[in-house]
Structure 1
């Protein structure tokens, strides 16, 4: 409909996975390099995670297209299977014949024989599982047992697990620790940054036949903000903006067209662009304090201050989104209405998720969203905002309160989410073959965290290998002595000084309408 008007030969923003429109951002290329490295190491498992729509399928398809011709691939799209069903599906993909009805032993024997024969014929076997966050723990364990088949130099079956961030949490479970130790490469794919969004849009328009710009700079900025940098959402918004621009006969598309398209596609209220709107918001913020924040949270009026005996975690809002909103507000940032980790991208921030001890929380000294168990043993979320004299300042909904050490240890379930500003230009890996400048950078970052003076490095020696291992073990990372992406991110995170600290003096009024000082609203003891 709009192709002729805009000089296009094809629809540039179709969400169908057309290889002709393949665009690999710096992050996609880094993910691809990481996975390729992992497979080249002859390891058993390679892990790729990312939020919905960030391009995991793009990376995996590109990786598969670059595999050598001597590789047999089994691609499994529906992993919600039992152990028996998964092995049967693997046999079907590799065209391995088996008797009906099959048994677990029969399928395992058939697959083992196939892998040995394939290896003897000089061929490799790769299994790719998409949406792997849906795999059951016992199925993952069966996969691990399947990868036990190996020669002196290589695994006979390699597995790529692709999934959403929940897959990372799944692999941290105690019963899967042996599988987690076999992951030779892992990468978490983040959404596109502002410059990548501009390049992505330009690339797709060029492939579709238009070499001249179509989206103004203001439109690209609005597009990044509305989409959070997620390619699939970018496509949806751009497609709708083209239709709207054609209907209005606009030769160039600006921020207004993008915002209107985003409001329609994402079912959100359209952003008001009237000049008085900004002044009204500013005045309201100054006069009414937290009224605008309360409106964006869509929560009831502030919870009245209650005495120590009256406060129970089960009585407070324990929603993860509200806890993330409190974390943004504590940093002095605009409060997101939804998808906080995607929204963080527009603020040049990213989320770090994982499991930690209370000692690690103190070491990091950063506000975070943490998981708690209430009096009914239900999972809840709170914003951890401060620590002083052995007590922890938490916020749940509108209520801030202090939790003493004993009660905190009893309630904290180990889960956390942090906001941080990721550095630009981190390498994918610093190991023995890395440039000397990178090796020296690694030593300079490790030394102060380990309370020692940095050494002048001549290469990646055994002392540095041991220092990396000690750091990885202290942070609950995979201990391999190589500074991969996750290790480098944690080194950068712990070395940065921006943002508020838990140890800062907490004497400000409680946020979001509730004024509770350090001595009031405390919760102590066990139930």
Structure 2
């Protein structure tokens, strides 16, 4: 009803997956490139994860359109199936006939015959499973067994698993470790940044027939604030804001209209002074504790001290005061409860404001003495600064071994949030959330850590510009020595750039989620720098 008023020929913010409105941000393009690269490899599994509404299905549909014509595809949308049901669904998608009540072995044999026939005919077979976080462990294991069918050079069935962040947790289970080792490419799709939200909204308006901007800068920032950069939520907010603007006969759409839309769609209200309210509450509790001579736990005192320190400044890392060694009288459980509640509220407030990964990256850049550039992604900023940003998957132990601070992906159901792991002590970790720093226990961190983290890396000072087959022997030996250190194997004595060295480069690149081209370029050399002599900020100790 508002289309004529805004000069539109269509509803630009429908949540239906209309391919005409396809918008690929830098992150969507990067995710698509990872999937295409994974399918070009010889392994069996490719992984794409992301929060609800970030555009995983959009990327998968775009992938389908880019697959070669000699590819047979099975797209499974409902993975809540048993092993037999999943294999039967795969047969249905590929047009494989089977009788009534087939056994698991019969279905497996039929699929194997189809895959062999397809391979002989020069055709590829790809299976895409959406909402894969609902797959049972035994079903995933059955899929792994199915991908055992292979030639000397490639798997005959390649599987793309698409799901929410819980899928990463599922794949870290002990009984699925063999499958996890077969993932040749993985990517976690992040929400849109503020500049990308503006481009996204304008793109949809343009497709619907309006070339002039309709949402002002304040409205765009409000859209990002309330949506967290999730395209599906952006659509809902924009649709409601358009209706409000139409009802008021006003343009352009401003932040007040978006705030009203958020209140209707999400039930959220502006929180202008929440931070100062928490600070005031913390001050009251601290005063009461001092009067009553309460004995605080180290975590609680850290929370309260932090709020005092950040009341005037939240940009510089703060030193958190440790408890006195004196032992005052123990408070009663009733008296201590309000202070514990405040501590939890302070942390929950910080978590609620940590849904933007770019804010976390700003904290990570600051630890390197740098700052990201406005209007571009964090990785683009890193490139402009001669650095590399790399996404890794692993345990807290693996991250600590690298000894570099990192942007960490954390989960507090159902919210995904981002922090910076700043320091590591034996029993606690210094975690920065939205410019605020908290000491948390190792157990708390392990409980919330999804296993995904991102690092900034720079080339070591003695690293060559690049190493190619035509490079000198000293550079080739440097590359072999550093690869051996990273791969925890003895270094070979090199006489030239051989095929084994090229394969070692590709293996290292695959492990670190970069294109495995066997070329030791800037990005690969920067990754190797993480394993050499430490340079830059350190998790344990000081500056490297």
TM-score (norm 1): 0.68
Distance 1:309 1:361 in 2: 41
CA spacing shift, 1:354–1:181, aligned 2, 3 Å:
closer
Secondary structure, counterpart of 1:335 in structure 2: helix
1:105-153 deviation digits (Å, cap 9, x = unpaired): 1111011011111112222111000111111122111111111111222
2:449 equivalent among 394, 416, 419: 416
1:486 CA displacement: 4.3
Greater RCO structure (CA 8 Å; 6+ sep): 1
TM-score (norm 2): 0.66
Aligned length: 427
Is 1:469–1:479's contact at 8 Å kept on the other side of the alignment?
no
Matches within 5 A, 1:269-288: 269-271=269-271
Is 1:36–1:63's contact at 8 Å kept on the other side of the alignment?
yes
Structure 1 gap ranges (5+): 294-302, 329-333, 372-381, 424-441, 505-527
2:508 is matched with 481
CA spacing shift, 1:271–1:105, aligned 2, 3 Å:
same
Matches within 5 A, 1:67-106: 67-106=67-106
1:266 CA displacement: 1.4
Is 1:468–1:482's contact at 8 Å kept on the other side of the alignment?
no
Q: Report which stretch shifted further, 487-496 or 153-162.
A: 487-496
2:463 equivalent among 435, 439, 454: 454
Is 1:259–1:271's contact at 8 Å kept on the other side of the alignment?
no
1:110 paired to 2:110: yes
Structure 2 gap ranges (5+): 287-293, 298-326, 363-377, 379-390, 412-418, 432-437, 470-475, 490-504, 515-522
1:197 CA displacement: 0.9
2:350 is matched with 335
Distance 1:384 1:345 in 2: 15
Secondary structure, counterpart of 1:128 in structure 2: strand
1:392 paired to 2:407: no
1:356 equivalent among 396, 409, 416: 396
1:148-207 deviation digits (Å, cap 9, x = unpaired): 111222211111010111111222222222212211111111111121111111100000
1:469 CA displacement: 6.7
Is 2:295–2:328's contact at 8 Å kept on the other side of the alignment?
no
1:55 CA displacement: 0.7
1:418 CA displacement: 9.2
Secondary structure, counterpart of 2:47 in structure 1: strand
Distance 2:328 2:430 in 1: 14
CA spacing shift, 1:292–1:214, aligned 2, 3 Å:
farther
Is 2:12–2:205's contact at 8 Å kept on the other side of the alignment?
yes
1:229 CA displacement: 1.1
1:305 paired to 2:292: no
Secondary structure, counterpart of 1:159 in structure 2: strand
Distance 2:278 2:69 in 1: 63
Q: Report which stretch shifted further, 461-470 or 231-240.
A: 461-470
Distance 1:402 1:185 in 2: 32
1:9-51 deviation digits (Å, cap 9, x = unpaired): 1111111000000001111111111111111123211111111
2:482 equivalent among 461, 467, 471: 467
Distance 2:409 2:328 in 1: 23
Distance 1:55 1:244 in 2: 26
2:54 is matched with 54
Distance 1:3 1:212 in 2: 14
